[in-house]
Amino acid sequence: MSGTFSKSMARNVFYGGTAFFVLLFLALSFDTQQALPQRDNRANLTPAVAAGKKIWEVNNCIGCHTLLGEGAYYAPELGNVYKRRGPDFIKVWIKNQPTKVPGRRQMPQFNLTDKQLDDLVEFLKYTSEIDTNNWPPNIEG
């Protein structure tokens, strides 16, 4: 092999590398599409979950909280809050905001109805049942 790198050698490296990574991307995409039905909890998607997601979005909860690692880091991760605290705690907590405890960040009062609270809890239950490969790494979010 010569000590110089010719144009044809560079072109072959470029095309070979491009082909390799395109095939790798396609293989990983195919693998992801095969794994998602077992991991994404779509069988438990109900109208109440959809309504809870709408409440989550309308009230911009993701502006302060993270959900499955996405969102702001001002307030706690809520991907596993249903498992950590349970539905009754979530409802009481939201109803009693703001707590007005000095030195503590305050969550606004959204004045949600009981039906809206039930839907929001159903949405948080749904997200807690998604297989996230043990995310978040800290149980408290």
Model confidence, pTM: 0.78
The pLDDT of residue 141: 61
Residues 132 and 65 grouped into a single domain: yes
Q: Residue 125's domain is classified under what CATH number? A: 1.10.760.10
Domain count, the chain: 2
Q: Residues 79, 26: one domain?
A: no
71 with 102, same domain: the answer is: yes
pLDDT value of residue 69: 85
pLDDT of residue 88: 96
User: What residues are paired with 136 via a beta bridge?
Assistant: none
Task: Indicate whether 30 and 71 sit together in one domain.
Answer: no
Q: In this structure, are 25 and 62 located in the same domain?
A: no
| 67 plus 3 within the same structural domain | no
Question: What is d(CA 84, CA 73) in angstroms, rounded to the nearest whole number?
Answer: 18
Q: Assess whether 72 and 11 both reside in one domain.
A: no
pLDDT at 99: 85
Identify whether residues 51 and 31 lie together within a single domain: no
**26: domain range?**
1-39
Tens-binned pLDDT, residue by residue, of the chain (141 aa): 567 889 999 999 999 999 999 999 999 999 999 988 888 888 899 999 999 999 999 999 999 999 988 999 888 889 889 999 999 999 999 999 988 888 888 899 999 999 999 999 999 999 999 988 877 777 776
How open is the CA angle 51-54-60, to the nearest 5 degrees? Answer: 145
The Cα 70–Cα 34 span in angstroms is 23
